[in-house]
Amino acid sequence: MRYSVENFSTFTNCDKMRVMVYRSLGLRIQEARQELGLTQQELATRLGLTQAALSNYEHGKRRLYLANLEQIADILGKPMSYFIDPGAEEEGVENWGRLPYR
């Protein structure tokens, strides 16, 4: 699904949150790609995608499935937590996905 910022004010809160998550993931992908000195075309080729598809991921305009993110993380040499919970890497949190029982 693609989201257009032109009508962002008409989005539900759920849609707004989804757009923010896609953008955050995209920025982390872009940062990791640039750290390795890869162009969008080089990474897209390794992923079996078009450069346009990767660009859409990086700009938060295309839904990113877990399988795609796992492949991206593997190629870029980053743990999944780098993309899903950037604060976990900085805080040294090892079990970022565990929630306490209440």
CATH number at residue 68: 1.10.260.40
> Is 88 contained in some domain?
no
Cα dist from 95 to 71, 89, 91, 99, whole Å? 21, 11, 11, 9
Tell me which residue of 3, 57, 52 sits closest to 30, measured CA to CA: 57
Q: Decide if 40 contacts 55 (C-beta within 8 A).
A: yes
- 33-67, pLDDT tens digit by residue? 999 999 999 999 999 999 999 999 999 999 889 99
Give the total number of structural domains in the chain: 1
Query: What pTM was computed for the model?
Result: 0.73
2, part of any domain: no
pLDDT of residue 56: 95
